[in-house]
């Protein structure tokens, strides 16, 4: 095995009872766009530009959520989904005698509305269409002579049929044709294939967001991949994953119990699973039922690495953006889900806005790395000390003063950690060089780094009472 700098994480040091690339992340998600290289999305891009680069896709939707909540740089890995999207039934409203079918495979979940603004048949009737449920419409278009209407970037084509007896009565002003679609999905193999590409990327980044619902099977597979990416390829990172939504006919009790059961056996400090959903007004103006993971990723870009994204004074999501938490009634289960180590959102009585409850990680009980802010600090120390230590490989050691030579190297390795102390990312740090190291035989330097993190107030208790100023003076 080739010699290298290896880091062993010692956990449990706090005694808890049972970039740099900072803020930059990868997104893996379904998109019709084909690209061998990561597609870069920046914080200066608007919704139109993001859709141009990623198509009308789940990957584009997630990027919009992150950008408008703080992300300055996202590297996207578009995936051609193995599970195709589905098209629902076409619903017609109006008095026109024509009909319509929809062909193709959707690139995302859409509510497409075709609305006629001029009557007639082919090459005569005039229409507009919307892909976002009527929030916005295209310019007016004359229905083609063959009756076909391609909806750009959606993968879908509307095929209209005239009334054989009276073609001019086929489409009336106000007639609408509406169809809803389900988004295509990645398989676990699709995701793992994309993750494998992270081995060789040279970009600096902190974490990875896998766009779309996932389950325990993928979480366990990613847990294994994290060990490989860190142990072999020296890439410390964490993953933000999305739990599945409540299913039709499933009660909230059943849904909450499913989530509790799904978490059993998953213990990894570098995995975060977002159960939080909301009715959210996206940056393109559409109102959707979304998983809040995209928002979470934006908040990490705004936050300092040691800062909790649940900090109330800094990270409020306005109520004209996040309209309500979903599924309705989930507030009664937030305590359970938080204790089960999922990331949830909440409201506080008396103030406006929605907030992250806690940036929980799927850590073992008793872990020091319970929250994302702890993991971000840990990973930064790993990245920065490794870069320093690499410069000391193959260094000479004075055998007349072995301990002094080794401690000199250790101080150099600790330099970026000292900078983190000065920047208030951690409270303090020290490095220890165990004595008696036989460097001539082992040719290995062992050092121990211990740091004191920044503390966080997660609960406040106020003792309120009256006092009598005259009694106090006695």
**Tens digit of pLDDT per residue, the chain (474 long)?**
566 777 777 776 765 544 456 889 999 999 999 998 999 999 999 999 999 999 999 999 999 999 999 999 999 999 998 999 999 999 999 999 999 999 999 999 999 999 999 999 999 999 999 998 888 899 999 999 999 999 998 999 999 999 999 999 999 999 999 999 999 999 999 999 999 999 988 889 999 999 999 999 999 999 999 999 999 999 999 999 999 999 999 999 999 999 999 999 999 999 999 999 999 999 998 889 999 999 999 999 999 999 999 999 999 999 999 999 999 999 999 999 999 999 999 999 999 999 999 999 999 999 999 999 999 999 999 999 999 999 999 999 999 999 999 999 999 999 999 999 999 999 999 999 999 999 999 999 999 999 999 999 999 999 999 998 888 655
Sign for the CA dihedral angle at 6, 197, 270, 69 comes to positive
With respect to residue 71, please indicate whether it lies within any of the assigned structural domains. yes
Among the candidates 116, 149, 182, a domain finishes at 182
* Angstrom distance (rounded) from CA 171 to CA 119: 5
Are residues 96 and 137 in contact, defined by beta-carbon separation less than 8 angstroms? no
Give the end of a domain, one of 338, 356, 374.
Answer: 356
Cβ pair 186, 30 in contact under 8 A: yes
If 0-12 CB within 10 Å is exposed, 13-18 middle and 19+ buried, where does residue 189 land?
A: exposed
Task: Give CA–CA dist 68/457, Å, rounded.
Answer: 27
Q: How many domains does the chain have?
A: 2
| DSSP-derived pairing of the beta strands 238-243 and 207-214 | parallel
ω before 404 within 30° of 0 (cis)? no
20 part of a folded domain? no
Beta-carbon contacts of 160 under 8 Å, excluding residues fewer than 6 positions away, are: 98, 99, 100, 122, 143, 147, 148, 149, 170, 171
Do both 205 and 262 map to the same domain?
yes
* Statement to judge: residues 164 and 215 lie in one domain: no
Burial of 20 (0-12, 13-18, 19+ CB in 10 A): middle
Both tokens of 257, joined, read 């119990």
Q: Is residue 423 included in any domain, yes or no?
A: no
Q: Do residues 99 and 237 both lie within one domain?
A: no
| Whether residues 253 and 329 fall in one domain | yes
Distance between alpha carbon 250 and the CA centroid of its chain, in Å?
25
Residue 2 lies in a domain: no
Residue 64 has φ and ψ, to the nearest 5°, of -60, -45
Q: Are 211 and 30 in contact (CB under 8 A)?
A: yes
Q: Do 42 and 72 contact (CB within 8 A), yes or no?
A: yes
pTM: 0.89
Does 195 share its domain with 289? yes
Note whether residue 43 is domain-resident: yes
Token readout for 456 is 């966080």
Q: Residue 282: which domain range?
A: 25-78+187-356
Residue 108 is assigned to a structural domain of this protein: yes
Instruction: With respect to residue 117, please indicate whether it lies within any of the assigned structural domains.
Output: yes
Q: Is residue 435 part of a domain?
A: no
* Residues contacting residue 134 through CB under 8 Å, at least 6 positions apart: 111, 113
pLDDT of residue 10: 72
Cα–Cα distance, 382 to 41 (Å, whole number)? 27
């Amino acid at each position: 095995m080739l010699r290298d700098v290896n880091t062993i994480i010692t956990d449990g040091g706090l005694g808890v009872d049972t970039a740099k690339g900072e803020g930059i992340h990868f997104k893996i998600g379904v998109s019709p766009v084909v690209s061998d290289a990561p597609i870069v999305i920046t914080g200066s891009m608007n919704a139109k530009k993001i859709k141009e680069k990623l198509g009308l896709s789940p990957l584009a939707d997630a990027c919009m959520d992150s950008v408008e909540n703080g992300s300055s740089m996202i590297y996207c890995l578009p995936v051609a989904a193995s599970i195709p999207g589905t098209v629902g039934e076409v619903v017609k409203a109006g008095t026109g005698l024509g009909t319509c079918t929809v062909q193709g495979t959707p690139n995302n979940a859409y509510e497409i509305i075709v609305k006629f603004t001029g009557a007639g048949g082919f090459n005569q009737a005039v229409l507009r269409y919307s892909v976002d449920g009527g929030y916005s419409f295209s310019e007016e278009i004359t229905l083609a002579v063959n009756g076909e209407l391609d909806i750009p970037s959606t993968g879908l084509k509307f095929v209209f049929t005239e009334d054989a007896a009276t073609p001019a009565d086929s489409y009336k002003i106000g007639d609408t044709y509406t169809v809803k679609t389900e988004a295509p999905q990645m398989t676990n193999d699709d995701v793992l294939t994309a993750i494998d590409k992270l081995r060789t990327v040279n970009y600096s980044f902190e974490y990875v967001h896998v766009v779309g619902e996932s389950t325990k099977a993928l979480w366990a597979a990613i847990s294994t991949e994290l060990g490989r990416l860190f142990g072999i390829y020296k890439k410390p990172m964490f993953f933000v994953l999305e739990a599945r939504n409540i299913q039709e006919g499933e009660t909230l009790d059943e849904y909450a119990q499913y989530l509790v059961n799904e978490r059993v056996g998953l213990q990894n400090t570098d995995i975060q699973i977002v159960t939080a959903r909301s009715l959210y007004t996206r940056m393109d103006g559409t109102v959707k039922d979304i998983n809040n993971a995209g928002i979470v990723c934006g908040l990490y870009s705004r936050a300092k690495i040691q800062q909790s994204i649940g900090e109330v004074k800094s990270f409020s999501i306005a109520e004209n953006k996040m309209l309500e938490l979903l599924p309705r009634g989930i507030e009664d289960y937030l305590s359970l889900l938080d204790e089960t180590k999922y990331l949830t959102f909440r409201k506080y009585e008396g103030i406006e806005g929605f907030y992250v409850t806690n940036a929980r990680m799927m850590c073992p009980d008793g872990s020091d790395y319970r929250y994302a802010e702890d993991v971000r600090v840990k990973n930064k120390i790993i990245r920065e000390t490794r870069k320093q230590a690499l410069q000391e490989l193959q260094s000479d050691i004075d055998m007349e003063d072995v301990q002094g030579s080794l401690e000199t190297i250790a101080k150099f390795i600790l330099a970026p950690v000292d900078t983190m102390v000065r920047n208030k990312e951690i409270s303090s740090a020290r490095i220890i060089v165990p004595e008696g190291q036989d460097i001539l035989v082992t040719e290995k330097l062992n050092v121990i780094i211990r740091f004191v993190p920044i503390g966080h107030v997660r609960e406040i208790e106020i003792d309120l009472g009256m006092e009598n100023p005259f009694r106090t003076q006695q």
